[in-house]
A = this chain, B = another copy of it.
């Protein structure tokens, strides 16, 4: 499938989802991911803690001309920062055993992204050796799991990026914005949601809801999973923040 004239200008005018690689190790895989993205018209690549630093000559070489993607890579120290401005986050991973999250195939996720508006959507991919950590998966609204041979289901990172990018590219165009069901509000950004989580979890600590410190991570993850599934709007996040404030204000005088 060779034969593209690489000098031809690449025009991508439609809104596209963001690809986020968390703890990627090899520059070659970052570059091949960038190439696969541009093959499918995707241009927004974010890296969280690339092991071998950035920029990477190996990545540029492996990108085979996808300079438009490589040159616009943005770097982040944490996954939370990398998704702060997004409204919907997907995690490309095998179904985790202990988290209740919706699981979609790549085509179903692609349709979902088109409906929600590609520009606000991001897809998390884990590093080569360990994949996504549970704490990263907990930040996502939905799991994307491609059907793969159960005896040998470990995909190369750039291959995973291609499968999901291509499902998006092959899917139907965006639902026009005026057809979206929300009129007076909008989906909460991840930054708004994480701000609410912090307030909520501080309240849990303050009120003694979490009695055993070693249970805290699992408890917090399970509660965040519930909020994610609720797909809160910006208005609803503000309402919930008010509820938590009012609960904790009431408790304090009693203590």
For the complex formed, measure the closest distance between the CB of A55 and the CB atoms of chain B, giving whole angstroms: 20
Which residues of chain B have C-beta atoms less than 8 A from A10's C-beta?
A: 149, 151-152
Give bound CA distance, A4 to B35, whole Å: 26
What class of interface size applies to chain A in its complex with B? 35 or more
Dominant SS at the A interface? loop
CA distance A166 to B155 in the complex (A): 11
The answer on a CB contact under 8 Å between B32 and A153 is no
Whether, in the assembled complex, A250 has its beta carbon less than 8 Å from a beta carbon of chain B, the answer is no
Cβ < 8 Å to B, chain A residues 7-51: 8-12, 32, 35-36, 38-41
Are A151 and B8 in touch, CB under 8 angstroms?
A: yes
Q: Tell me, rounded to whole Å, the shortest Cβ–Cβ distance linking A66 to chain B.
A: 7
The answer to whether A158 has its CB under 8 Å from any CB of chain B is: yes
A122 interface residue (CB < 8 Å to B): no
Check if A130 is an interface residue, CB within 8 A of chain B: yes
Report B-chain residues with C-beta under 8 Å of the C-beta of A105.
Answer: 170
Does A3 have its Cβ within 8 Å of any Cβ on chain B? yes
| Given A156-B36, A159-B158, A1 and B92 contact (CB-CB distance below 8 Å) | yes
Residues of chain B contacted by A170 (CB below 8 angstroms):
105, 147
Partner of A38, one of B11, B40, B93, B152: B152
